[in-house]
Amino acid sequence: MSLAWHPTIPNTFVVGRKDGIVDIYSAHTTSDDYYYGNEGLNFRRVHRLVHSSFPIRALSYSMPDGELLFAGDDDGKLYSYDASMALPSGTSESFNVASPVKLVACALAAHKGWIMNLCAFPDGNKVATCGSDKSVRVWDCGMGLASGTPVHSFDGANEGWVWGVDCSSGAVGSARLKLVSCGNDGSMQVFSCSE
């Protein structure tokens, strides 16, 4: 249903499934215990996260480091996971993708319906979601997510379902940082992300 590449760990990506499971895959160099392979690069599942029984349509790692993983499901729940991959001792080139991935917070009613898409802000402090309830919401990645209260809520942003949302990569806190959404009605909405 959804997928996202890790922003800093090469050949590592996450997949959201129809049954509510979130799987993280990473490159594996041997032919044993691999799930998908092609031309010497094999991927194996390194984590399985089971917190939802609804389809996972939206996934994103936090920017710029990927220390948090966000997942949105068809029940309107927004999950935040600690996905920081610690470096193994004595190395500076590879990551320990086997480090535990733990649930940090969950907004139980992030949307009144399906979470269609989400995106992380470039500063790593916020994440935006959009849904079938015609809204776009901006969340604080810290305790704001756990409280279930968005920083900003743009209800009725589009006439129909809001299918996509993305944040520009402009300077954080500047007027150049924009959020854009697209809806079922064929329109796009642009929001300023400056405080």
Write the CB contacts of 168 (distance below 8 Å, at least 6 apart in sequence).
Answer: 176, 177, 178, 179, 180, 193
Each residue's pLDDT, cut to its tens digit, for the chain (195 residues) gives 999 999 988 888 999 999 999 999 988 544 444 455 555 668 888 899 999 999 999 999 998 889 999 999 999 999 999 988 644 434 444 556 667 788 999 999 999 999 999 999 988 889 999 999 999 999 998 777 878 889 888 887 778 898 999 888 765 555 577 888 888 888 888 887 765
Helices and strands of the chain, counted as H and E runs: 1, 16
Eight-state DSSP code of residue 145: H
Count of structural domains within the chain: 1
What is the value of pTM for the model shown? Answer: 0.84
User: What CATH code is carried by the domain that includes residue 125?
Assistant: 2.130.10.10
Burial of 183: CB neighbours in 10 Å, binned 0-12, 13-18, 19+: buried
Q: Which residue has the tokens 């150049």?
A: 176
Provide the residue range defining the domain that includes 64: 2-192
